[in-house]
Amino acid sequence: MILLLLSTFILPIDRCHSMLLMLVFIVYGVVIGLVSIRVRPWDPMYVINTVPLLIGDVIYSYSTRHIGDPSSPDAHHTVPWICRVPQIYLFTSTGFWGMVGMVLEYLY
């Protein structure tokens, strides 16, 4: 969020720098996604990155039911790698925060 404050108050937001806001949010999404993968059982991460983690859990449960084999004793390994729990958090975090940056950029 420090990058957001720097891009909002120090750098001028005009046509040349309007993509900077979205870029800051995408970088924030990648970083917070990697952190949430690394410290996954840590509870404060659900406060910092609540919506992308919930979206990731919904995508994982949907892919387990519809793509994988839910009757398998190890259903986690029947789901494609990209839809498994640690990896999906990176993609949902990057996508969510990138969209937030895009909406904020549009509002400027």
**Where are the chain's structural domains?**
18-39+48-107
The pLDDT value given to residue 37:
84
Output the pTM of the full model.
0.77
Tens of pLDDT, residue by residue over 28-39, are: 999 998 988 888
Determine the average pLDDT of the residues in 63-80: 90
DSSP code of 70?
A: T
The pLDDT value given to residue 72:
87
The pLDDT value given to residue 45:
78
Contact 92, 34 (CB under 8 A): no
In whole angstroms, give the CA distance from residue 108 to residue 106: 5
6: which 2 tokens? Answer: 């720097």
Contact 108, 13 (CB under 8 A): yes
The pLDDT value given to residue 17:
64
